[in-house]
Amino acid sequence: MSIFVTRPYTPPLEEYLVELKRIWDDKIFTNQGRCVTELESRLKSFLDVDNIQLVSNGTIALQVALETFGRLAKNELNSQKREVITTPFTYVATTNSIIWQYYEPVFVDIEKDNFTLDPAMLEDAITKNTYAIMPVHVFGYACKVDEIQGIAKKHQVPVIYDAAHAFGSRYKGKSLLSYGDLATISFHATKLYHMAEGGGIIVNDSNLQDKVDLLKRFGHFYDDYIYPGINAKISEIQAALGLVNLNHIQEIIKARKEICESYDALLQGVVQRPKVQEDLEYNYAYYPVVFKSEDDLLKVMTKLKEHDIFPRRYFYPSLNKLPYVKPSSCPISESISSRILCLPLFVGLTAEEISKICKLIKECLV
């Protein structure tokens, strides 16, 4: 059987069928039904956040978050600002969401130790046209949130964290999702906690809660039309899977931690690993490794593929090199993106499979 970089967690089917039966009995499939309402409440408690708005996927979460401060939300001042400062080292959805909302991505290079946006370069990128800052807690590692917030406050620019990978990560005793004005999350099937497809917006500014809620469901409340909103709602079917998977989240994270620790032991001194902050409680979302050269990476990928093992080049290429963005230089991101590989990580990956993967990597490098 092929080993892919990830495999969706599947809870016992009978547990999901219980939730589906309740939906069939309720005959409510959308519009904040029982499952969505219950899941939002449980997620607020588990994640230790004040407000979460569930939406249909992680990309539309970014799009709605972007418009919370802009022209659709009747902020004429911000509607004239068209630049969003972001990182080139992330999945392309981050950049695409900016472009789809007719903003221009401005890339700031990353830190070489944990691959997040480098705040030392942030202030120089802010101009009179800066609309927002959108850093990414890449792989679930924490951005330097205090430094970023200080710069943002000085220049009165909102911070929207793309926290797609950060479910369950905590920093300085708080949920990593609780930093920034808004933080977005993905519940795609590839994530450690999923509902097949879905996303969320964590609203850390209480003044924005009603605005986000309206923007995600057409912008009106009964006959009162307030914003030109969109349909970003999540369905009861998705939320039902979310409820069931949340029952298993601790065992999911525990299993992933054990796999990561096995990799650590077998690959010590063989590959470079990200540096995790002392105050970070990590969620074990991914297992990225960095090779000395792109040639080494390609050798490893070829060797693993010969054995039906398929890691992924998260994230390649560096997004500042996309053909449809303004050219810019981000040498650290460009270097890391050419040499980084995420190894298979999912509940059910066996000790024998982990050992085989590491053995094949060592054969290429040692």
User: Which parts of 27-140 fold into alpha helices (H)?
Assistant: 34-47, 58-67, 76-79, 92-100, 122-125
Q: What is the pLDDT of residues 24-71, one digit of tens each?
A: 999 999 998 999 999 999 999 999 999 999 999 999 999 999 999 876
- Position 80 pLDDT exceeds 90: no
CATH class held by domain 248-365: alpha beta
- Position 74 pLDDT exceeds 70: no
DSSP designation for 143 = P
Annotated domain spans of the chain: 13-246, 248-365
* pLDDT at residue 75, rounded to an integer: 60
Q: What is the pLDDT of residues 152-195, one digit of tens each?
A: 999 999 999 999 999 999 999 999 999 999 999 999 999 999 99
What span, in angstroms and rounded, lies between the C-alpha atoms of 10 and 8?
6
Beta-ladder partners of 116: none
What span, in angstroms and rounded, lies between the C-alpha atoms of 363 and 313?
20
What span, in angstroms and rounded, lies between the C-alpha atoms of 361 and 366?
8
* pLDDT at residue 319, rounded to an integer: 98
Whether domain 13-246 has CATH 3.30.30.10: the reply is no
Largest Cα separation within the chain, whole Å, is: 68
Q: Give the number of other Cβ atoms within 10 Å of residue 321's Cβ.
A: 17
- Quick one: which of 136, 56, 149 has its CA closest to 95? 136
* pLDDT at residue 73, rounded to an integer: 57
The pLDDT mean for the chain works out to: 95
* pLDDT at residue 137, rounded to an integer: 98
How much is the pTM? 0.95
What span, in angstroms and rounded, lies between the C-alpha atoms of 285 and 115?
15
What span, in angstroms and rounded, lies between the C-alpha atoms of 252 and 67?
34
Q: What is the pLDDT of residues 88-136, one digit of tens each?
A: 999 999 999 999 999 999 999 999 999 999 999 999 999 999 999 999 9
Q: For the CA atoms of the chain, what is the radius of gyration? A: 21
**Per-residue pLDDT band at 366 (split at 50, 70, 90):** confident
Q: How large is the average pLDDT for residues 347-362?
A: 98
**Per-residue pLDDT band at 256 (split at 50, 70, 90):** very high
- Quick one: which of 23, 5, 9 has its CA closest to 246? 9
Token digits of residue 198: 């879905």
Token digits of residue 245: 């998977």
